[in-house]
Amino acid sequence: MPLILVTNDDGITAGGIRELVAIARTFGEVIVVAPDSPQSAQGHAITIETPIFVRESDVFGPDVKAFECSGTPVDCVKIAKSVLLEGRTPDLCVSGINHGSNAAVNIIYSGTMSAAMEASLEGVPSIGFSYLDYAADADFSVCRPYVEKIMRQVLENGMAGGSLYNVNIPKLPASEIKGIKVCRQADARWVEKYRAGEDPRGRPYYWLTGEFVNNDPHEDADANALLAGYVSLVPSHHDLTDYRTFERLKKNFSRVVG
């Protein structure tokens, strides 16, 4: 049976990881390593100034080996690989199911996707799943058929080395989701604003707010596919090289330096 590592950034007691573990168990042996508290928007942060504490958890019942970790989502994957898996390599890492979107530029800030990316750096096929519902009582069962289909495809056919999938599922009734669309990352971003205030001791503070601005008109952009009622699947990578300008810059600088 395949070995599947499950993690997230919303914490080990979140509803999304319960659904993901239940699905993963139908495919193989599951080990869970997840934060002991919410770690949203941690990006690829790791813990280096304080020790990391890990303890076994029975939150998924006696049949699932699970650990809660005091570190970040990326810490969870690192300590799973280095310590908890005892030399075994997962056949698949799945992260989520996240509360809310990780489409477009959100992938950069996302703890969910950074955990999956960390596993992909180790050559493990990895998928981050997100559901566009921020409610504490979100019904993640809507995600099940798409999570199952994508997991099955990867387990049966593999994934290109060093790659990972960023999967987002729209908040719609199951009957209104049109299917899965392979997309690219949308040209969209957050425009931040800070709301000023004062705490009870008279100290000024700033609270981050903002709005999501989508400047991408194309149908194959993930943010637009989600608006159109599709599950978006973006093949992603940790290589941040801009290959569109790579060759041009090489030529320009070779003239200057040479």
pLDDT band (50, 70, 90) for residue 191: confident
Distance in angstroms (rounded) separating the CA atoms of residues 149 and 144: 9
With H, G, I as helix, E, B as strand and everything else as coil, classify residue 1: coil
Instruction: Identify whether 212 is part of a domain.
Output: no
Supply the CATH number for residue 182's domain: 3.40.1210.10
Give the largest Cα separation in the chain, rounded. 66
Residue type, 208: L
Instruction: Identify whether 90 is part of a domain.
Output: yes
pLDDT band (50, 70, 90) for residue 255: low
Spatial neighbors of 210 by CB under 8 A, at least 6 apart, are 190, 191, 192, 193
Is residue 229 within 8 Å of residue 108, measured between CB atoms?
Answer: no
As for how many domains the chain has, the answer is: 1
Is residue 82 within 8 Å of residue 74, measured between CB atoms?
Answer: no
Instruction: Identify whether 201 is part of a domain.
Output: no
Instruction: Identify whether 166 is part of a domain.
Output: yes
More reliable by pLDDT, 136 or 73: 73
Length of the chain as a residue count = 258
Instruction: Identify whether 209 is part of a domain.
Output: no
Residue 7 confidence (pLDDT) above 80: yes
Which pTM does this prediction carry?
0.92
Spatial neighbors of 195 by CB under 8 A, at least 6 apart, are 206, 207, 209
pLDDT tens-place string over residues 134-180 = 998 999 999 999 999 999 999 999 987 668 999 999 999 999 999 99
Instruction: Identify whether 49 is part of a domain.
Output: yes
Q: What is the mean pLDDT of residues 94-116?
A: 94
Compute the mean pLDDT over every residue in the chain, rounded to the nearest whole number.
Answer: 93
Spatial neighbors of 218 by CB under 8 A, at least 6 apart, are 224
Residue 184 — φ and ψ, nearest 5°?
A: -115, 165
The single-letter DSSP state of residue 132 is S
Range of the domain at 97: 3-186+217-257
pLDDT for res 252? 79
Is residue 165 within 8 Å of residue 103, measured between CB atoms?
Answer: no
